[in-house]
Structure 1
Amino acid sequence: MNTENVVKHLRVLWRTDRIIADIRLRHLAMGLGLRAFAALIAAFGLLMLELSAYFALVQMWSAIAAAAILGAVNFVIAAVLFVIAGRAPSGRDIEFANEIHDASIEALQLEARALQAQVSGAVHHPLSTIVPVLLPLIAIIVRNLRKTAKESASSPGEAGS
């Protein structure tokens, strides 16, 4: 396991999550603004259509029946608009960001598996992990002991001279 790879993959994951969130936020904000404006225009247009339909229906039926029919038509129109507004965004940028996100998750999982293999190898064969660390330490200790032995051997010789 390489910690640099883990950090790199975590940065990529964090950045793609930010990109995905930004794309979704922009989509929602733009969609909300356009929907609000469209709703305002539609409300005025629907009010005029309602008024004209009401006057036309009052001539054929009673005022109560005309109002009930127009209310049912309004509910159907509102349901259709909610279905259209609820559609998910279909863009290449969100798909690309999701692919990068998935790839970084896979890379992190591979790094975690490598760490798990190293840990289980260290548990099963502890000398294989200790020996690479101990050899340089033993060499340093031997050098220091030789240096100390030379210094202690030369010190009594200097005092006796």
Structure 2
Amino acid sequence: MDSESIVKTLRALWRTDRIIAEIRLRHMLVGLGVRAIAALIAGFGLLLLELTAYFALIQVLTAISAAAILSGVNFAIAATLFMLAGRPPSGRELELANEIHVSATDALQREARAVQSQFVGMVHHPLNSALPLLVPLITIIVRSLKRSRAAAPAAATEQT
């Protein structure tokens, strides 16, 4: 049971959680920016492409079927872009942070188990846990009594 190791473990756990959150936030923001740019470009490009395709399809098909075909193509492109932007983050930083997080959590659990076992031992056998404190206390009391006994005759001789 070392309080410094518990504090170090908690600090490592807090730092890795912060790193993991920053990496995920950065990935989310980049993904959001990519989605916004992709949507803007796709909007302009599809508008012109759709207009061109619509005029070409009107020559062959009816206006309703041409519009239905183009909207299906638009939905397929949009789904593909969202699937690409929604990929999970992959990187060595995130893997390393997750490994450190797991090891810090394991170390904290080991420390908690050690504290728990010492506490249970103290409750079941209180004399064993108090014995390391009693021995120095008894030696201090014995020395104090010896000094007071030695000081008592010297004080008696001075008074007479």
Task: Bin the TM-score by the shorter chain.
Answer: over 0.9
Report the counterpart of residue 50 of structure 1 in structure 2.
Answer: 50
Q: How far has the Cα of 1:64 moved from its partner?
A: 1.9
Deviations 1:126-147 (A, max 9, x none): 2111100111111111222222
Q: CA deviation at 1:35?
A: 2.3
Q: CA contact under 8 A between 2:31 and 2:86: conserved in structure 1?
A: no
Query: For residues 39 and 75 of structure 2, what CA distance do their matches in structure 1 show?
Result: 14
**Separation (CA, whole Å) in 1 of partners of 2:99 and 2:133:** 40
Q: Is 1:17 matched with 2:17?
A: yes
Q: Deviations over 1:63-102 (max 9, x none)?
A: 2221122112212222222222211011111011100000
Q: Report the equivalent of 1:130.
A: 130
**Equivalent residue runs for 1:92-131 within 5 Å:** 92-131=92-131
Could you tell me which amino acid in structure 1 is paired with residue 48 of structure 2?
Answer: M
**Cα offset for 1:153?**
2.6
Instruction: Please report the TM-score for the alignment, with normalisation by the length of structure 2.
Output: 0.93
TM-score between both structures, scaled by the size of structure 1: 0.93
In the TM superposition, structure 1's runs of 4+ consecutive aligned residues that sit over 6 Å from their partners are none
Structure-2 separation of matches of 1:149 and 1:54:
114
Matches of 2:21 and 2:72, distance apart in 1:
38
1:129 counterpart SS class = helix
Aligned length: 160
Output one character per residue of 1:6-40: Cα deviation in whole Å (capped at 9) or x when no partner. Answer: 00100110111111111111112222222212221
Provide the aligned C-alpha RMSD in A. 1.3
> Whole-Å Cα distance in 1 between the matches of residues 148 and 55 of structure 2?
112
Q: Which runs of 5+ in 1 are unaligned?
A: none
Pick 1 or 2: higher relative contact order, CA cutoff 8 A, min separation 6. 1
Unaligned runs of 5+ residues in structure 2 are: none
